[in-house]
Amino acid sequence: MDLIINIFSLVGSLALFLFGMKTMSEGLEKFAGDRLRGILSAMTRNRVMGVLTGVLITALIQSSSATTVMVVSFVNAGLMTLAQSIGVIMGANIGTTVTAWIISAVGFKVNIAAFAIPLLAIGMPLIFSGKSNRKSMGEFVFGFSFLFMGLAFLQEAATAMNIGDMVARMLAHVPQGSFFTIILFVIVGAVVTMIVQASAATMAITLMLFGMNIPGFGFEQAAALAMGQNIGTTITAFMASLTANTQARRAALAHMFFNVFGVVVFLIVFYPACTVVSWFVENVMGGGNDLFKLSAFHTAFNIINTLLLIGFVKQIEMLVCRVLPMKEQDEDHRLKYISGGLFSTAELSLMEAEKEIGNFAERCHRMFGFVSELMATDDESVFNKTFNRIEKYENITDQMEMEIAEYLRRVSEGRLSNASKSEIQKMLRQITELESIGDSVYNLARTLNRHRMNCQDAFTEDQLHHMRTMLQLVERALQEMMKRLGNSGRMGVTASFNIEHEINNYRKQLKNQNLHDVNSGQYSYQLGVFYVDFISECEKLADYVINVVQAGRGINNDYSEAT
C-alpha cells in the first residue's frame, strides 16, 4: 500500500512541477504577448540578433518548447522567415539552460517549498484582480510556486521510494565505462522527454538523480541523459507543425536537425568534453556543488552547438527545403495560416486567425475581379467557365467562414484577456461580413447569367458604362478594406466612409435615371430590372465591405441593415 501511495506521490509531484511550468509560462506570455511578438519581429533581422532573441525569450518564459512552438506559429503565419526562425531556435536551446542553473543553485539546497507558500499569498490578490495584466502576473507567481513545490515534493517522493537504490540495481546490469552505455542514456533521455514533452522536467529529474550519488550514475551518464533531452524536446514543436504549412514544418525540422547534429558532434568528443567541463567548474568557477558540472555541460553543449552552426543558417535552410519541398497551392486550398491545432497559448492563436481573415478577404477580392471578366466576354464557354469559378469560390468562402469560426470558438475556450475576448468578437463579425461579400459577388454573377439566359436585349452602352463605374467604386472600397485588415487600430476609416457615401449617392442617381429611361421607352422594363438588380447588389456589397471595416474598429453600425 505504501508503495502505491509513493508512486502516486511521485507522479503527482511531477504533475505539479509540469503544471507550474505551464502556468508560469502562459502567465508571462499573456502578460507580455504583444511585447514578445514585437521583440521577435524587431530582433530577428540578422542571425546573431535572432539567437539573442531566442535566449532572452526562453530565459523569460522558462520553456524552450514554448518558444519553438511560438516560432513555428510565427513562420506558419508568415510573420517570420525560415532563416530567422532557425536563429531564434538556436537561442532557445541556450535559454532553456537557465532552468538547470536555477535548480542547481537553489532547488535541492534550500527548502524552496517553504518560500513557495508565502508566494501564493502574494499571487492570490493578483489572480482575482480585474485587470488582465495583474491576473497574468498572478498566474506567473502561482506557476513559479507550484514549480518549486513540485520539485521539492518530487525529491521527497523519490527519497521515500528509495529511487536511488532502484536505479543503482538497474544500472548494475549495464556495463560501466562502455561507450554503448553513453548512447543508451542518450536514447533514454530522448524517449523520456518525448513522453513528458518538457525538457525542464526531465532535466530536473536528472539533476535530482545525479545529486543522490547513485553508484553507476555519475557525471558522464547524467550528461548523456541531458544530451538526449535536447533531441526529445524537439517533438513538441514537431507535433505542433504537423498540421501547419510547409514553412512551419521546415522550422520544426530545422530544430530537430540542429539538436541531433549537436548530439552527434558531442558524442565524438564526449569524454574529453566531460573532462574539460569538470576542470572548468572546479578551477575557474571555484568548485561549487556537483550539480553545477551538469548545468555547465548542458550550457556548453548548446552554446558550442550554436557557434558551430550559426554560420550555416542558409545551408540548414537549403537542407530542410530539400527534405520538405513546397507543395503547389491549388484553388481548393482553403485555410492558409490556421493549422489543425491551437498553439501554445490562446493569445498567440489569435495571430493565426488574424492572418487567415486577411487571406479570406484576399479571396473575396479576387472573386470580385471575375465579375468584370463576365461582363467583358461574349463567348459562352468563357462565360460559363468564369461563372462556375465564381460559384466554386462562393462555396469555399462559406466553408472558410465555418472553419475560422470553429477555430475562434476553440481559442475562446482558453484563458483570454479581456482585450483578446473583444478581438474574437470583432473577428467573428468580420468573417460573417466577408462571407456576405462572397454571397453578394455570386449574386452579381447570377444577375448577369439570368440576363443572358432570359433577356434578349443587351445592356445599352450607357448602362454598361454605369455598371463598370459602380464596379470601380466597389473595387476602391475593397482596396481600402484590405489596407485596414490587420491595421484596424492604426488607420482611420474616413476614406472608406467617403467611398460608401459616393456609392449610395450613385445608386440613387442611377435608380432614378432608370425610371425615367424605362418610361421614355429607351429600353424594356425587363432589361431595367436586371440593370437595377446589378446596381443594387453592388451597393449591398459595399455595405458589407464597410461593415468589415467597422468591425475592425469596434463600431457597431450595420450598413447592410441601415440602407
93-120 tens-digit pLDDT: 888 787 777 777 665 555 555 667 787 8
For 383-395, give one letter per residue: b (16+ CB within 10 A) or e.
beebbebbeebbe
Q: Is 328 among the domain residues?
A: no
How many Å apart are CA 189 and CA 95, to the nearest integer?
Answer: 19
Listed ranges 19-33, 65-79, 447-461; the one with the highest mean pLDDT: 447-461
CA distance 390 to 384: 10
Residue 418 lies in a domain: yes
The single-letter code of the amino acid at 468 is R
Rounded mean pLDDT, 143-159: 72
For the chain, state the CA radius of gyration.
31
Same-domain check for residues 42 and 129: yes
Q: What are phi and psi of 531, to 5 degrees?
A: -60, -50
Residue 37 has pLDDT above 50, yes or no: yes
Task: Give the contacts of 48 (CB within 8 A, at least 6 positions apart).
Answer: 87, 310
Give the helix, strand, coil percentages of the chain, each rounded to 5.
Answer: 80, 0, 20
Q: Pick 285 or 514 by higher pLDDT.
A: 514
- Tell me, yes or no, whether 80 and 224 share the same domain: yes
The predicted model gives 430-444 an average pLDDT of 94
Q: Higher model confidence: residue 479 or residue 559?
A: 479
- pLDDT reported for residue 513: 93
What is residue 505's predicted lDDT score, i.e. its pLDDT? 94
Find all residues with CB under 8 Å of 278, minimum gap 6, and list them: 219, 293
What's the half-sphere exposure (Cβ side, CA atoms, 13 Å) at 226?
33
Confidence of residue 56 (pLDDT cuts 50, 70, 90): confident
To 5 degrees, how large is the angle CA 559–CA 422–CA 37?
Answer: 120
Res 525 pLDDT > 60: yes
- Say yes or no to pLDDT of 67 above 60: yes
Residue of 132 and 538 predicted with greater confidence: 538
- What does the pLDDT read at residue 330? 42
Which residue, chain included where needed, has cell 524552450?
64
Cα 99 to Cα 222: distance, rounded to the nearest angstrom: 16
| Cα–Cα distance, 72 to 67 (Å, whole number) | 9
pLDDT at 43: 55
Same domain, 222 and 280: yes
- DSSP sequence for 436-448: HHHHHHHHHHHHH
**Is the confidence at residue 510, as pLDDT, over 90?**
yes
335, amino acid identity: L
Q: How far is CA 69 from CA 153, 245, 301, in A?
A: 29, 14, 22
340 three-class SS: coil
What is the rounded average pLDDT of the residues 344-371?
A: 82
Is residue 275 scored above 60 in pLDDT? yes
Residue with cell 530545422: 254
Question: What does the pLDDT average to over 65-89?
Answer: 73
> pLDDT-derived band of residue 158, with 50, 70 and 90 as boundaries?
low
**Residues, the chain, total?**
563
Residues spanned by the domain of 192: 2-323
Copy the grid coordinates of residue 398.
462559406
Last residue of a domain, one of 323, 356, 375: 323
Regarding whether 388 and 261 lie in a shared domain, the answer is: no
Q: Which residues, in sequence order, are CB contacts of 105 under 8 Å at separation 6+?
A: none
| Angstrom distance (rounded) from CA 431 to CA 364 | 11
Amino acid identity of residue 232, one-letter, is G
Identify the residue with better confidence: 201 or 527.
527
Establish if 330 belongs to a structural domain: no
Q: Does 561 score more than 60 pLDDT?
A: no
Residue in 61, 55, 76, 72 with CA at minimum distance from that of residue 22: 61
Chain centroid to CA 330: 23
Identify whether the C-beta of residue 80 lies closer than 8 Å to the C-beta of residue 71: yes
Domain shared by 528 and 401, yes or no: yes
Confidence of residue 331 (pLDDT cuts 50, 70, 90): very low
The rounded Cα 127 to chain-centroid distance in angstroms is 26
Cα dihedral: 156, 16, 256, 275 (round 10): -20
Examine the domain organization and report whether 420 and 308 are in the same domain.
no
Mean pLDDT (whole number) for 513-541: 92
337 within a domain of the structure (yes/no):
no
Grid cell of 545 as nine digits:
465591405
On whether both 67 and 122 belong to a single domain, the answer is: yes
In this predicted structure, the answer to whether residue 213 has a pLDDT above a threshold of 90 is no
DSSP single-letter state for residue 455? -
Rounded to two decimals, the pTM is: 0.58
Residue 60 in any domain: the answer is yes
Question: Do 254 and 316 form a contact (C-beta atoms < 8 A)?
Answer: yes
Q: Could you tell me if 279 and 413 lie in one domain?
A: no
352-358 mean pLDDT: 84
Q: What is the mean pLDDT of residues 57-61?
A: 71
CA atoms 36, 40, 43, 48: torsion sign: positive
Task: Give the rounded percent of residues in the chain with a pLDDT score beyond 70.
Answer: 75
Residues 36 and 15: their CA atoms lie apart, in Å, by: 27
pLDDT tens digit string along 303-320? 998 888 888 888 888 888
The residue among 273, 308, 323 that closes a domain is: 323
Picking from 245, 34, 25, 229, the residue whose alpha carbon sits closest to that of residue 136 is 25
Q: What tens digit of pLDDT does each residue of 226-248 get?
A: 888 888 878 767 776 666 667 77
List of residues 6+ apart from 146 with CB closer than 8 A: 16, 17, 19, 20, 23, 24, 116
Find the mean pLDDT for residues 289-313.
84
Cβ atoms < 10 Å from Cβ of 557:
9
What mean pLDDT comes out for the span 150-173? 65
Pick the residue with more confidence: 302 or 76? 302
Q: Which of the 8 DSSP states describes residue 128?
A: T
Given pLDDT bands bounded at 50, 70 and 90, which one contains residue 342?
very low
Whether residues 301 and 388 fall in one domain = no
Q: How far is Cα 209 from Cα 10, in angstroms, rounded to an integer?
A: 14
Phi, psi of 378 (to 5 degrees): -110, -5
The type of residue at 112 is I
Among 33-42, 49-58, 483-492, the minimum mean pLDDT is found in 33-42
Inform me whether the pLDDT recorded for 290 exceeds 60. Answer: yes
Over 60: is that where the pLDDT of 475 sits?
A: yes
Contact between 67 and 88 under an 8 Å Cβ cutoff? The reply is: yes
* CATH number of residue 537's parent domain: 1.20.58.220
Which pLDDT tens digit goes with each residue over 410-421? 888 776 767 778
pLDDT score recorded for residue 65:
67
Mean pLDDT of the chain: 79
Helix (H), strand (E) at residue 315? helix 313-323
Classify residue 411: in a domain, yes or no: yes
**Among 106-120, 136-150, 386-400, 489-503, which stretch is predicted with the lowest mean pLDDT?**
106-120
Higher pLDDT, 476 or 411: 476
Quick one: 366 and 429 in the same domain? yes
- φ, ψ of residue 109 to 5 degrees: the values are -100, -35
450 with 486, same domain?
Answer: yes
Q: What is the pLDDT of residue 229?
A: 84
| Contact between 100 and 298 (Cβ < 8 Å) | yes
Total of domains in the chain: 2
Domain match, 202 and 129 both: yes
